[in-house]
Amino acid sequence: MTDATPLTLTPEAVAILSRVTTATLTTLLLKKGLRNVWLRGTRPLRTGQPRVVGRAFTLRFVPAREDLATPESWASPISTRAAIEAMPAGCIAVVDAMGVQEAGIFGDILCARMAHRGVAALVTDGVVRDVAGVLGTGLPVWCGGVAAPPSVAGLTFTGWQQPIACGGVAVFPGDVIVVDDDGAVLIPANLLDEMLALGPEQERLEAWIMDEVNRGAPLPGLYPMNAETQARYQLHKLTAGTADAGKP
């Protein structure tokens, strides 16, 4: 993350991206040449959670080493506890746990502290523990599942706000994360403005196509659009815009 990258998103950016699905974002990013933006193994701990948007605050684990991965390490200045105290409100904590399924990176107490600090969500390719308590904190979580053992049973924590690999995706501090029931998608920080502009229009376009499908329109020439359908859509937008302009 460069010094010019803000730690949080503007409320306007959050509001816009909260109306854009992760499926739509993957399509738009694919058109920009980015295929590897969906973080594998990041499923919602509770289905039906609202879509969450925020800048990535990264944390990194490596394989456990017996002299480092100890309960005593939890009191170290380089610990998950210290990292949580550095998280700004509105961020999404993105944790590289290398897909390890046998050790829960966070439990209910750490998630409760994150919720209290205003962290928007936790996203990890690893797992959490104390699942009933984690759900009780209200912190939205996307992860690979649950496990009883603590993090030091399989992982060593190494630091925060570094480039990481989460779910097979390169995540840099300050990148933007959007999560919904389809999982977590990364927007590179330098493409944020384009996604803010393109995302809502893509959602409007697909809503119109769905209306056409519901009216019985065949897919060839509609999805994707041919020239005739594009002209009809542009006329629809013009008509809708004129109608909206006439409202008090």
Give me the CATH number covering residue 172: 3.50.30.40
Query: What is the reported pLDDT for 2?
Result: 45
What 3-state DSSP class applies to 31?
Answer: helix
Per-residue DSSP letter, 153: G
The H-or-E segment that residue 52 falls in is strand 52-63
Tell me the per-residue pLDDT of 118-153, one tens digit each, with 9 for 90 and over. 999 999 999 999 999 999 999 999 999 999 999 999
pLDDT at res. 242:
60
pLDDT at 1: 45
Contacts of 35 (CB under 8 A, 6+ apart): none
Low-confidence ranges of the chain (pLDDT < 70): 1-4, 242-248
Residues 52, 172: one domain? yes
Choose among 77, 79, 93, 80: nearest CA to 7: 93
Domain residue limits at 229? 195-245
Percent of the chain with pLDDT over 90: 86
State residue 150's pLDDT score: 96
Q: State the CB neighbour count (10 A cutoff) for residue 69.
A: 21
Rounded Cα gap, residues 247 and 36, in angstroms = 43
Between the two ends of the chain, the Cα-to-Cα distance in Å is 44
Asked if 60 and 164 count as a contact pair (C-beta separation under 8 A), the reply is yes
Residues 144, 65: one domain?
yes
* pTM score, whole prediction: 0.91
Q: How many CA atoms lie within 13 A of 73 on its CB side?
A: 20
- Sign of the alpha-carbon dihedral angle for 188, 128, 80, 99: negative
How many structural domains is the chain composed of? 2
Examine the fold and report which residue of 141, 156, 189 is the final residue of a domain before the chain moves on: 189
In a domain, 6, yes or no: no
